[in-house]
Amino acid sequence: MLLSLGWPGASADTGAPAVPARCASVTWPKFHFDLRNSGHNPCERELGPTTVGDLTVRWAAQTGGYVESSPAVVDGVVYGATGTVDGTGRTFEYALSADTGETIWRRQQYGAAVSDVTVAGGMVLVGTNDDHKVRAFDAATGTRVWSFIGGGAMNTPVVYKSRVYVGSADGRLYALDAASGHEVWSYQTGSLIEAAPAISHGVVYVGSNDENLYAIDAASGALVWSAPTRGEIVGSAAVANGRVFVGSGDHSVYAFDAESGALDWATPTRSFVGSSPAVAWGMVYVGSLDRRVYAFDQTTGAIVWSRVTGDVIVGASPAVANGVVYIGSEDRTIYAFDALTGGRLWSFTTGDIIGDEAVLDGVLYVGSFDGNIYAFGLPAD
């Protein structure tokens, strides 16, 4: 078995994966951490299997609405967006101090449920539902920079080489100029696109509710390949080691060759997979509506372990760092599992958790349907 030998380069003290010797200042600027949607912060040092059980609430900040989006953390600031809970149609984009949770700025909108946020080039970008817009705000002040109107609800934007890539409920993947918001090209799939694209080596990977995964040239918008699953794809794909991993409505997780689209493996869970996979240490981690968190062997697709949570895992996706897998469930709990064995290391109850987590510099950030952004850290010495 892959894991019987332990983590490659594992620490003799903790058994957790070794941290790269040279790690620059780390940020978590978007859903699932990086352009490949790996969900993996390889530079985390403080939180690991031997310490995560001591996590306590460092702060909880009320945002003004339920929090379905995943937090982005850049240069000491936590960015996010809310849905509405008060019947007024109000939503908010916000920036909070990562140290204290205090509000730096908050921008109110109307009539527009919002996606996860992406922070890039000094801007905060967000897709909206009701008014079909991508909005760009100044990251320092919250001032509107530009907006673009698409043909349907706009999902999480991703920035790559001065362009913004975003999927829409009109079935199109849009490429926009990051400075102006003007459309550069669009590619039409057969149904709505519900998740953030992944980008690797100049190719954009995105799933559609037409049951296909698409690989599209980032520069031209030309189709590179498409590959079928047997169910709608509502989560994001993740790219690692020459493969693209994605969950499907047919209850399975798929692995495709990133260059050709050839199917490498497909492994079933017991229910719909709307969660987006995280990939690290030769493993693929994902949640399912069967209430379970799964760890698959990245090469073979074999299930290495699965663990039950207290309710379904709808849109929540795992974040991984330093030998720990974090994921939220609709039992209103955030969990931490040992990435090697699946053993439960820690849990905390808030409200329903549908978004992703961010893990960096010894702090776990997560939003909840109770309207709060939580920051968990280790007790002070």
Which position has the higher pLDDT, 351 or 252?
Answer: 252
Q: Can you read off the two tokens belonging to residue 313?
A: 């895992």
pLDDT at 298: 97
Beta bridge partners of 284: 279, 296
CB 339 within 8 A of CB 52: no
CB 358 within 8 A of CB 70: yes
pLDDT (tens digit, 9 = 90+) per residue, 298-315? 999 999 999 998 877 767
How far apart are alpha carbons 293 and 342 in whole angstroms? Answer: 9
pLDDT at 85 over 80: no
What mean pLDDT do residues 129-157 have?
Answer: 93
Of 67, 182, 62, residue with least CA distance to 113: 67
CB 247 within 8 A of CB 276: yes
CB 184 within 8 A of CB 163: yes
pLDDT (tens digit, 9 = 90+) per residue, 243-264? 999 999 999 999 999 999 999 9
pLDDT (tens digit, 9 = 90+) per residue, 2-46? 333 344 344 433 344 555 556 766 899 999 999 999 999 999 999
CB 58 within 8 A of CB 71: no
How far apart are alpha carbons 9 and 280 in whole angstroms? Answer: 13
What mean pLDDT do residues 91-120 have?
Answer: 87
> Buried b / exposed e across 89-102, counting CB within 10 Å, b at 16+?
ebbbbbbbebeebe
Domains in the chain, ordered, with CATH? Answer: 38-70+237-381 (2.130.10.10), 80-202 (2.40.128.630)
3-class DSSP assignment, residue 214 = strand
> Buried b / exposed e across 317-334, counting CB within 10 Å, b at 16+?
bbbbbbbbbbbbbbbbbb
What mean pLDDT do residues 282-288 have?
Answer: 95
- The model carries a pTM of 0.92
How far apart are alpha carbons 215 and 371 in whole angstroms? Answer: 36
pLDDT (tens digit, 9 = 90+) per residue, 153-180? 999 999 999 999 999 999 999 999 999 9
Mean pLDDT score across all residues of the chain: 89
Q: Can you read off the two tokens belonging to residue 92?
A: 């908010």
pLDDT at 280 over 70: yes
